[in-house]
Amino acid sequence: MSLDPQVNYKTNPITIEEMNALIIDSIQDIKGKNIALLDLTHLDEAPTDYFIICEGESNTQVKAISDKIHKRLKEEGYTLPSHVEGQRDAMWICMDYFHTIVHCFHKDKRGFYQLEALWSDAKYTEFDNL
């Protein structure tokens, strides 16, 4: 049996840093706005190591961002979320990748929940809107 050279046979999941970069790139692909990475690794009470937060202009865009992240992490990172919530109304989709939790907000909901303020002790990195 010969292996197809067009197929990537990698079986190991990507690192957390690679996963976070792939998530951020996926958000930027769909023109997600106000992307933030919150590093929670130094906080004892944190539920995870990282939050990635972004927003979309519409429910359709929020869902598209979530779908893009899921697809790319599955195909390129060999990783699936352990849990996803909020896909039905797409006002706030939360994707749990264990070490990283992704929050895709509708622009009207992000300000209401203010996750950045709730986790203000986190190390905060902001990414450019494309």
Q: How confident is the model over 105-114, as pLDDT tens digits? A: 999 999 999 9
Output the pTM of the full model.
0.88
> Is 1's pLDDT higher than 50?
no
Torsion, Cα of 112, 22, 62, 47 (10° steps) = -40
Q: Are 5 and 59 in contact (CB under 8 A)?
A: no
Which residues of 1-130 form beta strands (DSSP E)? 33-39, 50-56, 83-85, 92-96, 100-106, 123-127
> Is 124's pLDDT higher than 80?
yes
The Cα 37–Cα 54 span in angstroms is 9
Q: Are 12 and 78 in contact (CB under 8 A)?
A: yes
The Cα 108–Cα 11 span in angstroms is 39
What is the pLDDT at residue 8? Answer: 52
Model confidence pLDDT, tens digit, residues 75-97: 999 999 999 999 999 999 999 99
Q: Are 27 and 65 in contact (CB under 8 A)?
A: yes
The structural domains of the chain, with segments of one domain joined by +, span: 33-122
Model confidence pLDDT, tens digit, residues 8-60: 545 667 899 999 999 999 999 999 999 999 999 999 999 999 999 999 999 99
Choices 1.10.10.10, 3.30.1330.20, 3.40.50.300, 3.30.460.10: CATH for 33-122: 3.30.460.10
Q: Are 45 and 95 in contact (CB under 8 A)?
A: no
What is the pLDDT at residue 118? Answer: 92
What is the pLDDT at residue 6? Answer: 53
The Cα 76–Cα 106 span in angstroms is 26
The Cα 71–Cα 13 span in angstroms is 14
